[in-house]
Structure 1
Amino acid sequence: MENTVQEQETSSSSLQELLDKYLDGKLLLETYLRKGSGFCNDTIDQIFSCLIKLFSSGRVKGNTMIQFSLGPYIYYSFPACAYFKEIIVATSTNNCLEELEKWRKNEADALDMSHIAEFVCEREGNRETWMEKQSMIRSKMKKALKYNVIKHNPIAPIVLPQVDCLFLTHCIEVHTLTKEGFCSALKNISSLLKPGGALIMIVLKETTFYMFGKFKFPHLCLDEGFLRKAVTDIGYCIEELTVLPRKCEELFDVNDYTAFMMLYARKETEG
């Protein structure tokens, strides 16, 4: 029987404690991006096609990118790795941090993300093999960090110079339970981005919950209008906001999103 984390009884801090206790990075990957599943094929076809188009346009590049994710989702950076000298990956729990380190060191029991690397290489015209793609990102993945979005510096105690790109994938909306909290956390993360830098966000539209294992967690329900306002209110100019309706009929019992939203914006001012 599933265990439900009730939104009205759970603060952001206690949600973090529960994620620390129960989130399993391998289970998360197996649930949502298992090789050959319709859900995986839908996800990588829609999202990664958009990301490949964006990065290959040359509009987003620089020295350093930080990717923030709920789980050990380094694979979202596969389309970006050729355009940055350094990639820092921030994840939400100690377990996911350990999984990222195993993957970076190419250990025998590391997560298998080769099917995603293969897709990216194919869509990029096979500039590299999938093994070369993974080797490239391993060489550029200088740090793996744990984050807390409710802190003014989400990667404290680490202090870094402002970076060229922030890439947020299923991040703030699983750690904050109110729209006010979302805006505050987005402002916290944005402090890490230099003026003129790029913000990329992958957000699930109209999601109310997600599951892994036996646990059902609340997910802040967001739509396109709110996302636009939240980003522009803290000093961004939105370049693109693409809504990709859900195609896959699988896994409605573990995640009820209706579409992916991919946002690309430029930081104009400190919000």
Structure 2
Amino acid sequence: MDSTTHQFYHIHGWDSRDDLDLYYSNKEDMVFANDTLKFPMESLHYHLNSGQVKGTFMIDISAGSFIHHLLSASNCFQKIIILKLQEKCIMEVTRWLHDRTGAYDWTHASGAAAVLEGTREQLQETEMRLRSSVKQILKCDFEQEDITSPVQLPLADCIISALILESISKNEDEYMKNLEKILKMLKCGGQLLLFGLVDSTYKTVKGKRIHRFKCNEEFVKNALGKLGLVIDYYAVKTRSNVSDLTDYRAVLFIVAHKGE
């Protein structure tokens, strides 16, 4: 299928519940668990508990409505603000944060986080900690120079960005511009925790193909360097599933800090 027929996350949106069921759920036919759940959660847990992360304020800007990657982050940051491009994603996350009827069931992720922390029996406490740490969910817009305008946020000690850049960028120039807008929210010396996909051109949600900008490891590392980031840690996990729902080759995790 020609990529010009793909829909764009930031323009068309997607069905947030179908996205969660297909790529992040505990369903028996969900084949992506090692790549979308285990790898991100383990990577963040071990990095955030390394003692290298400093500060109290984190911004999360990630595609879709998943929250599992923030369960370990709430152990380190007292204040987390979540940025989303789509109202449906804001509504989905808000339902879970306020424990409302119909909220997505993340107990499989909360249980995994509790095991990583050595508190297997304290699943509810793990969820409550994250709910307490998230102070606000804001809509953002990458068409603006300041993506949170008119709201002005303090510079973050840490930013998590997961799968957003390849979802909203059509080419290398747009990727660089969008990355630069994210980095404007990060204080000097602050850390960027970046999750991306290698050689992905699409994902399928509700039967529709959603665009992804195809990029490799070297492009991402060079992009960070050009914008003044120093890479502290870098890992690539080769794809471990078989499915035509999406075509990525590997999952990328980079930890980098913003130069003084």
The answer, yes or no, to whether TM exceeds 0.5 is yes
Q: Please give the alpha-carbon distance, in whole angstroms, between the structure 2 residues aligned to 1:57 and 1:31.
A: 32
1:39 and 2:39 aligned: no
Q: Please give the alpha-carbon distance, in whole angstroms, between the structure 2 residues aligned to 1:186 and 1:217.
A: 20
- Equivalent runs, 1:70-219 vs 2, <5 Å: 70-126=63-119, 129-219=122-212
Q: TM-score, with normalisation over the residues of structure 1?
A: 0.90
Structure 1 residue identity aligned to 2:96: W
Q: Deviations over 1:4-50 (max 9, x none)?
A: 7x644789xx752311xxx1211110010120433124432222211
Q: Please give the alpha-carbon distance, in whole angstroms, between the structure 1 residues aligned to 2:259 and 2:184.
A: 12
Q: Tell me, yes or no, if the aligned pair for 2:198 and 2:215 is still in contact at 8 Å.
A: yes
Alignment correspondent of 2:19: 28
Q: Please give the alpha-carbon distance, in whole angstroms, between the structure 1 residues aligned to 2:143 and 2:191.
A: 21
- Equivalent runs, 1:228-239 vs 2, <5 Å: 228-239=221-232
Q: Tell me, yes or no, if the aligned pair for 1:7 and 1:177 is still in contact at 8 Å.
A: no
CA RMSD of aligned residues (A): 1.8
Q: TM-score, with normalisation over the residues of structure 2?
A: 0.93
Q: Please give the alpha-carbon distance, in whole angstroms, between the structure 1 residues aligned to 2:34 and 2:179.
A: 29
Alignment correspondent of 2:249: 258
Structure 1 residue identity aligned to 2:20: L
Q: Deviations over 1:77-99 (max 9, x none)?
A: 11111100101111220000011
Q: Tell me, yes or no, if the aligned pair for 1:196 and 1:268 is still in contact at 8 Å.
A: yes
Q: Please give the alpha-carbon distance, in whole angstroms, between the structure 1 residues aligned to 2:120 and 2:259.
A: 34
Q: Tell me, yes or no, if the aligned pair for 2:192 and 2:255 is still in contact at 8 Å.
A: yes
Q: Tell me, yes or no, if the aligned pair for 2:156 and 2:190 is still in contact at 8 Å.
A: yes
Q: Please give the alpha-carbon distance, in whole angstroms, between the structure 2 residues aligned to 1:148 and 1:83.
A: 27
1:18 and 2:12 aligned: yes
**4+ residue segments displaced more than 6 Å:** none
Q: Tell me, yes or no, if the aligned pair for 2:59 and 2:156 is still in contact at 8 Å.
A: yes
Q: Please give the alpha-carbon distance, in whole angstroms, between the structure 2 residues aligned to 1:131 and 1:151.
A: 38
Does 101-110 or 44-53 show the bigger shift?
Answer: 44-53
Q: Tell me, yes or no, if the aligned pair for 1:150 and 1:188 is still in contact at 8 Å.
A: no
Q: Tell me, yes or no, if the aligned pair for 1:97 and 1:146 is still in contact at 8 Å.
A: yes
Q: How many residues align?
A: 258
Deviation at 1:148, TM superposition (A): 2.1
Q: Tell me, yes or no, if the aligned pair for 1:150 and 1:185 is still in contact at 8 Å.
A: no
| Closer, same or farther: CA 214–107 of 1 in aligned 2, 3 Å | same
